[in-house]
Structure 1
Amino acid sequence: MAGFAAYRTLYSPSAFVEHYLSLLSSGHAADALRVPGVAVDRSELKAAGLADDASDALRQAALAPLTDVRVDSEQTDAAGSHVTVSYRAGGYAGTTTFDLERAGSIGIVPTWRFSRSPLAVIDLTVHGSMSFLVNGFAIDKRQVSPAGTEAAPADAVPLLVFSPGIYSVRVDTAISSSSGVAVLSDSPLKNVPVTVQSEPTSKFVQVVQDRVDDFLTQCATQQVLEPTGCPFGYVVQNRIDGSPEWSMDQPPKIDVIPDGEGWAIPPTDGVAHIVVDIRSIYDGSLTHIDEDVRFTMVGTIDISPSGTASIRVSAPDSD
């Protein structure tokens, strides 16, 4: 009886799984990766239908603790041993079944290995930022994408992770941010698709507002009826007498919204003011114009790889 208890505690398939989970719980990723059967080669990923070029950045550096770990069952059949474990990862309850096989023995004591690696792949798409955080670990998409520095903003990034594991993804940059999205990886060699949409920060919106204000102020310095490249103008059928004077009495209040992998200014109303004298072609009479000119503008905002914002303002449907 004592021998069975020792086997169960130290040498059984359940003990093997509990040792692996204790390494995860204590954050020892490198040691967990050395547990027999954990490390996976690219051909095994491909055979499981997973990206064989997945980055191992998270596998090595971003573990969250597991608690309330309990072995629910241990079964053995012709295919090997199967250990089902329940646990809590962060605030989430989870259950995972591990497949094991005999690896040999040391004396009369059996040794084990995972017959199916407990690693998985998070297929992560982050909109609105090339940088993001996973469990507080900062990642730049261009550092982990198979495309490297040529990675497109819309590209999903495949990331190898341990199962079980909880991974919180969020964006926190000067331009954009998001609330955390929690992802529970609970199945070996499973693909876990995750999409995060970030939103513009108030600081970024203010920068866009300032840039648009400057642009419209420059538009108002043009002493023509239709300032070039600007979203407002004044159309007359007669001749002007002298140069028009524009002012920007009510600059539009800017909002910024996601637009694909970039940002956009949605249709926004503003009010310019024009002062100009108009002379009638028909009878030569002079009319003094001093009035508000309402207009609508839109804008596109592109962020360069260096983080510089390029803002283009126009009237709706204009080229």
Structure 2
Amino acid sequence: MYSPSAFVQRYLDLLATGRAADALRVPGVSADLALQQDTGIDASSSEALLRAAALAQLTDYRVTSEQPDDGTYRVTTAYRAGGMRGTTTYSVVQDGWLGVVPNWRFQRSPLAEIELTVRGADDFAINGFALNRHQVSTQGADADPLDPLHLLVFTPGAYSVTVDTPIAATPGVRVLADTALARTPVDVQAHPTEKFTSLVQQKVEEFLANCTTQQVLLPTACPFGLEVSNRLADGALPKWSITQQPTVTIEPDGADWKIPPTDAVAHIDVKIKSVFDGSVHDVSEDVPFQIDGTIGILPDGTASIRVGSPSVDGG
């Protein structure tokens, strides 16, 4: 009951029953990480995940060995965390006495770090616990969307990172934190949702429709136009229409998104007057063109869509 193995077993009991606050009070868990030797983690890491709501299920856990080593005991455990099998070895030392019973503590904190990069979203969840980039970054509201986030976690622990917003989603990436004071890099690329793609398609079509209202040969800030060597007939104004809308797709572009080059066709009807003999003839012509663009996500969650050089209102 008073062995290093029993000490570690009680720590695992706390994690298995979701008692994260009690686990943090176990001697040696919340040690000053800046003073820990040979640590691979950032001492300023966020503690947001050190709570019951962020713990995955821990089952089938047991101590498999206890090895003394010059006053330190190496206690090895086996378990199933979030359905993932793993083993972890802890360093335990005596921490005085309680009467005739020895107290124990972790020589090295059993905490670890997830170094998380989420591309394409500021909102995400870990084990279903919702987080926002600006809440957990040391830079706060000024956090760069591509800067990794440093998050403390318990070992052992399984952590599943998911994105599920109106703009972006991902089925999730799961990692096992099984080594104390170790850093585990995790890179998550969110992908555009059908709703987001449909919205961008709608905004691009609205933008092109607005271009067709310009009764000129070269609509301003638009991706199509017609150059002629003659001139417009007196009183004639070009009439534009879109005969083939672009089929918009969205691809990741760093922290934001882009619209890759996409084919489309405009149509013009206009009367042209020859500069040589003054004759007037009707022009009815399809004008192929391409669009591309970039999409940035604004702080309020709306999208700023830029088609080529012109900008489309966000939504």
**TM-score, normalization: structure 1?**
0.93
Identify the residue that residue 172 of structure 2 maps to in structure 1: 180
Deviates more, 1:237-246 or 1:191-200: 237-246
Identify the residue that residue 150 of structure 1 maps to in structure 2: 142
Partners of 2:36 and 2:152 in 1: CA distance: 10
Match 1:313 to one of 272, 284, 307: 307
Instruction: Give the deviation of 1:70 after TM superposition.
Output: 2.1
Match 1:100 to one of 76, 87, 92: 92
**1:181-215 residue CA offsets vs partner (Å, 9 max, x unmatched):** 10100000001110000001111111111111111
Identify the residue that residue 264 of structure 1 maps to in structure 2: 258
Partners of 2:283 and 2:203 in 1: CA distance: 29
Instruction: Give the deviation of 1:284 after TM superposition.
Output: 2.0
Identify the residue that residue 4 of structure 1 maps to in structure 2: none
Confirm or deny: 8 A CA contact 1:232 1:315 kept in the other structure: no
Partners of 1:45 and 1:176 in 2: CA distance: 38
User: How well do the aligned residues superpose, as a CA RMSD in angstroms?
Assistant: 1.4
Question: Which has a greater percent of helix?
Answer: 1
Deviates more, 1:30-39 or 1:247-256: 247-256
**1:12-58 residue CA offsets vs partner (Å, 9 max, x unmatched):** 11111010001101111000000000003241368624211100000
Partners of 2:4 and 2:203 in 1: CA distance: 64
Match 2:226 to one of 234, 242, 250: 234
Letter in 2 for 1:238: N
Deviates more, 1:141-150 or 1:72-81: 72-81
Identify the residue that residue 280 of structure 1 maps to in structure 2: 274
Question: Is 2:8 aligned against 1:21?
Answer: no
Instruction: Give the deviation of 1:91 after TM superposition.
Output: 2.1
Identify the residue that residue 43 of structure 2 maps to in structure 1: 52
Match 2:26 to one of 28, 35, 42: 35
Instruction: Give the deviation of 1:286 after TM superposition.
Output: 2.2
Confirm or deny: 8 A CA contact 1:265 1:300 kept in the other structure: yes
**1:83-126 residue CA offsets vs partner (Å, 9 max, x unmatched):** 00011112211010000000011222111000000000100000
**TM-score, normalization: structure 2?**
0.94
Partners of 2:11 and 2:106 in 1: CA distance: 10
Deviates more, 1:57-66 or 1:141-150: 57-66
Match 2:185 to one of 193, 199, 209: 193
Confirm or deny: 8 A CA contact 1:244 1:276 kept in the other structure: yes
Letter in 1 for 2:43: D
Partners of 2:247 and 2:171 in 1: CA distance: 25
- Unaligned 5+ residue runs, structure 2? 311-315
Partners of 1:148 and 1:141 in 2: CA distance: 8
Figure out how many residues of one structure are paired with residues of the other and give that number.
Answer: 307
**1:50-81 residue CA offsets vs partner (Å, 9 max, x unmatched):** 21110000012411121111211100011500
**1:190-241 residue CA offsets vs partner (Å, 9 max, x unmatched):** 0111000000111111111111111100000000111111111111111122
Match 1:133 to one of 125, 130, 149: 125
Deviates more, 1:241-250 or 1:215-224: 241-250
Deviates more, 1:51-60 or 1:157-166: 51-60
Identify the residue that residue 168 of structure 1 maps to in structure 2: 160
- Unaligned 5+ residue runs, structure 1? 1-9
% identity of equivalent residues:
55
Q: Which contiguous aligned blocks of 4+ residues in structure 1 show a shift greater than 6 angstroms?
A: none
